[in-house]
């Protein structure tokens, strides 16, 4: 399976930046204006483990009940160059809606965000370079889950 195309990555990065600002726009809204994602109640028992052809790998377990994160264990590898790791014990949940937000307990500014659009539930990070092997953070992409099954979402 191929990594996400560059265009999708740029859109995801823009959505992530908007999430940090308090809203999550989608490109191509009415009249070319961004359309905010509606606040959704998230309930998920997610387990995404896969290795892609290019060596990128992810192992993510996420359990959310009524927009409260109950379990989070996420490790991703950027080929053989290094990895990033996130565990719920290192974070506290500070927001439930319109998207879920967790902040690192260590005051580093690292944030994890969870949101749902009509096709998938996304777990993303921001300002978390210190949780990754040096030099790989820019290639550490979000993980996405199928809302119904909790399996890895298709990226195509």
Express each pLDDT in 3-34 by its tens digit: 444 334 434 444 444 444 444 443 333 444 44
Residue-level pLDDT at 5: 42
What pTM did the predictor assign? 0.76
Residue carrying the six token digits 């550490």: 140
Q: What's the mean pLDDT in 28-42?
A: 56
Residue 61: its H or E element? strand 57-65
pLDDT in tens, 95-128: 999 999 999 999 999 999 999 998 999 999 999 9
- Return the closest-CA partner of residue 96 out of 74, 72, 115: 115
Q: How many CB atoms lie under 10 A from the CB of residue 147?
A: 18
SS (H, E, C) 131-151: HECCCCHHHCCCEEECCCCCC
Query: Domain segments of the chain: what residues?
Result: 39-145
Cα separation values, 27 from 7, 74, 112, 115, 124, Å = 12, 28, 22, 16, 18
Q: In this model, does residue 54 exceed pLDDT 70?
A: yes
CA distance 146 to 35: 22
pLDDT in tens, 138-153: 999 999 999 989 999 9
């Amino acid at each position: 399976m191929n990594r996400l195309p560059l265009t999708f990555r740029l859109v995801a990065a823009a959505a992530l930046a908007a999430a940090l600002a308090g809203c999550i726009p989608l490109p191509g809204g009415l009249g070319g204006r961004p359309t905010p994602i509606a606040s959704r109640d998230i309930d998920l028992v997610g387990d995404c483990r896969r290795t892609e052809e290019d060596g990128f790998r992810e192992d993510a377990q996420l359990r959310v009940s009524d927009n409260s994160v109950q379990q989070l264990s996420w490790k991703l590898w950027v080929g053989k160059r290094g990895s990033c790791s996130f565990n719920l014990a290192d974070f506290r949940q500070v927001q439930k809606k319109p998207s879920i937000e967790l902040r690192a307990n260590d005051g580093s500014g690292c944030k994890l965000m969870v949101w749902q659009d009509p096709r998938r539930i996304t777990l993303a990070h921001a300002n978390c370079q210190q949780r990754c092997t040096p030099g790989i953070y820019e290639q550490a992409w979000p993980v996405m889950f199928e809302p119904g099954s909790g399996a890895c979402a298709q990226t195509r």
